[in-house]
Amino acid sequence: MTRPAPRTAHRGGARLAAAVTALSSMLLFTASGPTSAAEEPPAAPELARWTAQTADSRLLAPGVEYFRYKETSPIAQRAYPRELNVVRIDPAQGALRIESTFGRKAATGETVREMVAAMPEVPLVAINGGYFMNEGTPDTTDAVPETVQTFGATVRDGELMGASCVLGKNRHSVVLQYGVPYVTLLETDITVTSSLTEEIPYGEVTQRVDDVNRNPGGALGCPRDADDTAGELGPYADAYGKQLAAYTDPTEFVLFNYSYRTTTPKPDVNKNITADDQAGYEVVLDSATGAVITGGEGRGGRTVAKGQYVLQAIGDHQTDWLRRQHQKKASLKITQRLWDHRFKAQEIKREIPLDETVDVVNGGSLLIRDGVSKYGSTGATGYAHGSCARLYDENGRSKDVTAATPQARTDYCRDSRTAVGVDERGRTLLVTLSGPRDHYYPDGGFLAEVTEPLRALGVMDALNQDGGGSSTMLLGDAARPVNGLSDDPAPGVERRVYDSIYVATGGSPVVN
């Protein structure tokens, strides 16, 4: 593995050189030759159903190879062959870092281009990261960026940015530490403990904190604890047409940290969620000592300063508890822990200590575990049942997958894919599967269709990241223009996402 270099600040810094131009929310890449005349382009591995575009293969840096493939024989329903883009990172060949960033602020989404531009360095490659949802009401019409919340365990530089889903509905995540991604099932544990030992409402010195950097009352995408219920809302669409599932809880503590970089949420952020209407209570804490700096009735509108936390409470129990701490001038200790459940079958629950070397990006479906594909083979037709939630018939009409309407040969999935994997040699692979770069045609693939080439590349563990219009790959060499196009929200317009995974130089290479 690559030993960690001193962490470079992710938040702010020089912009990318002007030569780095149009990026793609679907697929981003450059099409130039090798890095220098002295470097031969790497040979692209052969993959069934895919033809390597050898002119595009190149070495981005020692140990970082880029390969581009086109679909050899697209099915009749596709107007153009799809593309598979692969970046392979070998920690034994160069001093490299694999980390993540949310750009300038954790409260609002940004394009991968914006996140990269906020960095003080130009990364070698960046892809979109984890799943997220916009928090506001679907009829939002103002120009103010809508706040977002990540779901699934999310960590940046050792600090939690989002809580895990409950284990029964949990999603796998990728831990980025020491240069080799680690795909696992994670559980977060966040608590607040009072310095008081007497006159505490309900006699509880320690309280569970439900989440970090999100609107209290409305967990989106997945429940964070047993108190979160789907309620009467059901799925609904946000202002961008994205389907939401709200799990409401009118009794919550939510913590906000300096990375939030936006004023804390006021009541009624989402008109569809009644649980977030409460005035509640809010205090500002010194993040080192836990001393309550200020606070009071009501919540929202505060900026979290460096070295501070803001803690919001809704619900009678939680509000009473926090009010009493403020009145009695208590100090409140925030504890954040991260647990690894990869080996839960062996009844092993391992803590991952949170320090500045730890980044975590949440993901979706586990594609490959220990070299075994979770979705099997696509077969001659390129299809695999159950590996895509959105299906279309030959006329482009949406179809539901049910027992009465089994998947047919004419179905195809338009979700672009982004995946992260690690092969048997410890090399990291970043992969996108999408429509072609030179035509606006947002055709993606089934999970099995991205799993199959990953397995052929020797990947042992792989995780599906956010896809569709969020799928992004950027090769960040400022000496070469970047081309691309997007499938959402409009051709050539990039989608804002929560975070990104990037590769940069630094650290020490592995010495065998």
Q: Where are the alpha helices (DSSP H) in 136-283?
A: none
Q: What is the pLDDT of residues 95-146, one digit of tens each?
A: 999 999 998 999 999 988 889 888 888 899 999 999 998 888 765 555 566 8
Please measure the distance between the N-terminal and C-terminal CA atoms of the chain and give it in whole angstroms.
10
- 310 falls in which pLDDT band (50, 70, 90)? very high
Least confident of 91-105, 347-361, 377-391, 479-493: 479-493
Q: Rounded distance, CA 461 to CA 510, Å? A: 20
Cβ pair 44, 19 in contact under 8 A: no
Q: What is the pLDDT of residues 138-163, one digit of tens each?
A: 655 555 668 999 989 999 999 999 99
Q: What is the pLDDT of residues 26-43, one digit of tens each?
A: 334 333 334 443 467 899
Strand partners, 509: none
Predicted local distance difference test score (pLDDT) of residue 501: 96
Range with top average pLDDT, 17-31, 208-222, 230-244, 377-391 = 208-222
Q: Which residue has the higher pLDDT, 82 or 465?
A: 465
Burial of residue 29 (number of CB atoms within 10 Å: 0-12, 13-18, 19+): buried
Amino acid at 462: A
Predicted local distance difference test score (pLDDT) of residue 471: 86
Mean pLDDT of 375-387: 56
How, if at all, do strands 252-256 and 211-212 pair? Answer: parallel
Q: Where are the alpha helices (DSSP H) in 329-459?
A: 447-456
What 3-state DSSP class applies to 299?
coil
Strand partners, 294: 284
Q: Which of 366, 370, 405, 369 is nearest to 387 (CA)?
A: 366
Range with top average pLDDT, 160-169, 416-425, 427-436, 466-475 = 416-425
Predicted local distance difference test score (pLDDT) of residue 210: 97
Least confident of 48-52, 81-85, 88-92: 81-85
Q: Delimit the domains of the chain by residue range.
A: 27-130+370-505, 155-344
pLDDT at 11 over 50: no
Structure tokens of 296?
């009071």
- 415 falls in which pLDDT band (50, 70, 90)? confident
Q: Which residue has the higher pLDDT, 383 or 47?
A: 47
Q: Rounded distance, CA 392 to CA 79, Å? A: 14
pLDDT at 190 over 80: yes
> For the chain, what percent of residues have pLDDT higher than 90?
51
> pLDDT averaged over the chain?
80
Q: Distances from the Cα of 9 to the Cαs of 31, 104, 408, 463, in angstroms?
A: 30, 11, 50, 26
Cβ pair 181, 3 in contact under 8 A: no
- 345 falls in which pLDDT band (50, 70, 90)? confident
Q: Which of 90, 141, 97 is nearest to 121 (CA)?
A: 97
Structure tokens of 318?
């939680």
Q: Is the pTM of the predicted complex or chain greater than 0.75?
A: yes
Burial of residue 189 (number of CB atoms within 10 Å: 0-12, 13-18, 19+): middle
What 3-state DSSP class applies to 319?
helix
pLDDT at 235 over 70: no
Q: Which residue has the higher pLDDT, 431 or 35?
A: 431
Predicted local distance difference test score (pLDDT) of residue 175: 97
Peptide bond into 489 cis (omega under 30): yes
Structure letter (DSSP) for residue 346: G
